[in-house]
Structure 1
Amino acid sequence: MDFWELFVTALMPILKVLLVTAVGAFLALDRFEVLGEKERRHLNTIVYFVFSPALVCSNLAKSITFKSMLSLWFMPLNILLTFVIGTALGWLLVKITRAPHDMQGLVLGCCSAGNLGSLVFIIVLAVCKERNSPFGAGDVCYKNGLAYASLSMAIGAIFLWSYVYNIVRVYSCSYDVVEVNNNCTVGYPVSQPEMKPENPSKCSQGTLVTAVGSSKTNANVNQLEIECTVPEGEAKSFTGENWAEKIMKRIKASSEKVQLKAFLAPSTIGSVVGLIIGTVPELRRALIGDNAPLRVVQDSASMLGDAAIPSITLIVGANLLNGLKKSSMPLRLIVGILVVRYVALPMLGVVIVKASVHFGFVHHDPLYQFVLLLQFALPPAINIGTITQLFGVGKSECSVILLATYGCASVSLTLWCSFFMWLVL
């Protein structure tokens, strides 16, 4: 493949995303109101609970086996490194640019989570379908590329909904509390010097509790109050507690900050189910293949999963319309995210992957190495728009970031893909 063919191959999937985004923005116009605020919220809920887990589960079950899992053990570590390094670079960006508090979680999420699902599928499989594919026979390349892209999507979904989800949630909650009382910190008592209770022993030294119930999709905190539950004469000073009680209090405070239920997000459950079906021979024979007795289940899941990517992209386009009108996203943050995702991360990725090949952690499969390198050079995950929609914080700003990063990806991905192919072949 010459440079022009490579350019077209990398450009086509990005243009598809931008065109569907434009359709979403068009449907959100006041003249049509097909994707208004209420409609986007309902569609987003369907994507979260149905389309995304079906997409991950069906692709994993179809392309991953126990043998391939053993040979691809380095990919989960590689993806984890992209998230950790991206978060560290995002934290530096937040400190350098002094990002507003309500945007810090969004910036960290966009720097850490790449589009490890749809773009990896589209780019890798498009390269394999080319007549002069640099990765050998088209059918073999397609089969291996499907397995690599499916595992990338599954691991990416697990990290996205357990790691990035909680980052955005914690910063969203912190922002809401600061709006109410600048002295409030989630999970710790509020200092109130003017308050002098007649009997201090009636008040426990527990954590703050909200006066309204928490919600999975709304982190707003309207009022805070100190819970007083310890009867008179039974209160103990903090210094008088034993070490076990102190540890339990710390664990309880930490669990309030990190929603453990996010580790069981629908996409994570779909990933686990897909891995089980793909790696257990009896389940695989029953569900996968033209002669499988329960193949209708797999076909139905694939049909639902096919709706995930266009639905998410339409939501991003609809949010973008409002974002262009009222977004307060500073230009320095957009430029900083572009530098992190398209300059710093790919350069560090080259060092990590080549070092892994040198020390024997990664086998000498050019397509596998290409996918590992590609994971460092992707634009932010579109599902970050889903997360911001769930919490109602940074929706417009997220759409502006996604428009800027995906617009620049047409050039960035083309150049990096060219370099990666030259590097692994």
Structure 2
Amino acid sequence: MGIVDLFITASIPVLKVLLVTALGSFLALDHINIMGNDARKHMNRVAFFVFFPALVASNLAQTITYESMVKLWFLPMNIFMTYLIGSVLGWLLLKISRPPSHLRGLIFGCCAAGNMGPMLIIIVPAVCREKGSPFGAPDVCSTYGLSYASISMAIGAIYLWSYVYNIVRVYSSKDIEGIDDSTSKSIEETSKVLNGSCTEPLLSKDLPVLENHADHFTLPCTSLDARLQVPISVKFRQYLKMLSEKIDLKTLLAPSTIAAIVGFVIGVVPQIRWLMIGEGAPLRVIEDSASLLGEGAIPAIILIMGANLLRGLKGSDIHASLIVGIIVVRYIILPVLGIFIIKGALHFGLVHPDPLYMFILHLQFAVPPAMNIGTITQLFGSGERECSVILLWAYGLASVSLTLWSTYFMWLAA
């Protein structure tokens, strides 16, 4: 297959995404106003709680088995590597650019989290169906490609909603609750004047009646012995409470995460799989209903992204250097490092040399930032306009970057 044919094959899926994105932007125009601000928020919630979990659960239940999980063990590790390397590069970008505090979580998330879900599910089957695809028969390619993309989507959703979600949440809460140092010191000094310092006894030691009992009238924070006698179990509970305040543990059980667990259980446990998967399954109507709902996830998310991108056309205060930094991280540094990582894994026998599998592994390093980052910023109401600008440039350039990288990855795999 020639390089021109590979380029055409790689460009078709990207063009599909761009067309649906353009439709979302059109529906969000002021004189159309079908995808207005309220409509996007409601549609975001429906996609977050219904469409996307249904898509994750149904695809995993259909394509995952115990044998395939053992065979594809490196795939979630590869996604973890993209998040790890992206996080390190994002941290370096934050140190270099020093953006405002409310944008740090957004920039960090854009560097760390790639679009592991809809983008792969759109690209892989489309590439398989193209004439002259280097991955063999279209039906076999689509079946296995959907399995790889489903695992990527599920693992990516777990990482996104348990890691990036909390990163954005922490920085957003800092932006909302932050108080400058001078105000904080002033409040502290005022509190000491009004309430007294806890380092002094409540009553004077010079009183003869209290001469031998001064320690009984000090505030609790002055008693060093009392602090040292706190049981270890109490300290451990206090540490867990402090940790739970820093990290929203509830998001570890986000709808997409729960759906991924359900999909894995249905696919791996033979008895449950027999009940729900297949034309003769007694409870196949449940899986069919989930598949029907899941089919609405990708168009809904892409339409929301297109509507959000329209806000990016209006501009924001974000510096161009930040956008350039994110583009360089996601479209240059990550794909190049991914080539070396996967080549090394293949050399040491960590992955099997399946061309389609190798293509998926490479593609995970080259995808644009996750679209659900826009959903996360809308949930917290922090950095929405800046996120729209970043995604506008990221997905605009993805039409070129992703096509070129897909062409090169198919050439490597062929």
TM-score, normalised via structure 1 length: 0.86
Structure 1 residues without counterparts, runs of 5 or longer: 203-230
| 1:183 paired residue number | 181
Q: Which residue of 2 aligns with 1:361?
A: 350
- Say which of 245, 248, 269 aligns to 1:259: 248
Per-residue CA deviations over 1:99-136 (Å, capped at 9, x if unaligned) read 22221111111111111111112222222223322122
> 5 Å matches for 1:304-383?
304-383=293-372
- Residue 27 of structure 1 is matched in structure 2 by 27
Distance in 1 separating the partners of 2:60 and 2:182: 44
* Residue 378 of structure 1, CA deviation: 0.5
AA of the residue aligned to 1:198: N
Which segment is superposed worse, 282-291 or 104-113?
282-291
Structure-to-structure mapping, 1:109-128, within 5 angstroms: 109-128=109-128
- Cα deviations across residues 367-405 of structure 1 (Å, max 9, x unaligned)? 112111110011011111111111111112212211211
Cα distance in 2 between the residues matched to 1:133 and 1:172 = 45
Does structure 2 conserve the Cα–Cα contact (< 8 Å) formed by 1:312 and 1:386? no
8 A Cα contact 1:324 1:396, kept in partner: no
Q: Which has the larger radius of gyration?
A: 2
Indicate how the Cα distance of structure 1 residues 174 and 39 shifts in structure 2: closer, same or farther if over 3 A, else same. same
Structure 2 partner of 1:207: none
| TM-score for both structures, normalised by structure 2 | 0.89
Contact 2:51–2:294 (CA<8 Å) still a contact in 1?
Answer: yes
Equivalent residue, structure 1, for 2:203: none
Q: Which residue among 411, 415, 419 is the counterpart of 2:400? A: 411
Deviation track 1:245-299 (CA, whole Å, cap 9, x = no partner) reads: 4444333222101100000000000000011111111111211112222211111
Match of 2:288 among 288, 292, 299: 299
Cα distance change, pair 141–317 in 1 and its aligned pair in 2 (3 A): closer
Is residue 2:189 matched to residue 1:193?
Answer: yes
Which position in structure 2 is the counterpart of 1:65?
65
Indicate which of 268, 271, 290 corresponds to 1:282. Answer: 271
Q: Which shows bigger deviation, 71-80 or 249-258? A: 249-258
Q: What is the aligned-residue RMSD (CA, Å)? A: 2.4
Residue number in structure 2 paired with 1:100 = 100
Q: Is the 8 A contact 1:323 1:395 kept in 2?
A: no
Alignment correspondent of 1:206: none
User: Equivalents in 1 of 2:54, 2:335: separation in Å?
Assistant: 30
Structure having the higher helix fraction is 2
Cα distance in 2 for partners of 1:237, 1:250 equals 21
CA distance in 1, matches of 2:63, 2:240: 39
1:125-181 CA distance string (max 9 Å, x none) = 222223322122333222221111111111001101101111111111111122xx1
Shift of 1:366: 1.9
TM-superposition CA deviations, 1:22-66 (whole Å, max 9, x none):
222222222232222222211111111101100100110011111
Distance (whole Å) between structure 1 residues aligned to residue 186 and residue 6 of structure 2: 58
Q: Residue type matched to 2:117 in 1? A: G
Q: 1:340 to 1:282 in 2, by over 3 A?
A: same
Percent identity of paired positions between Structure 1 and Structure 2: 56
Are 2:382 and 1:385 equivalent residues in the alignment? no
Cα distance in 2 for partners of 1:184, 1:165 equals 31
How many pairs are equivalent?
A: 393
Note if contact 1:27-1:35 (Cα within 8 Å) is conserved in structure 2.
Answer: yes
| 2:209 corresponds to | none
4+ residue segments displaced more than 6 Å: 188-191, 231-234
Flag structure 2 segments of 5+ consecutive residues without an equivalent: 200-215
Could you say what secondary structure the match of 2:191 adopts? coil
Aligned to 2:388: 399
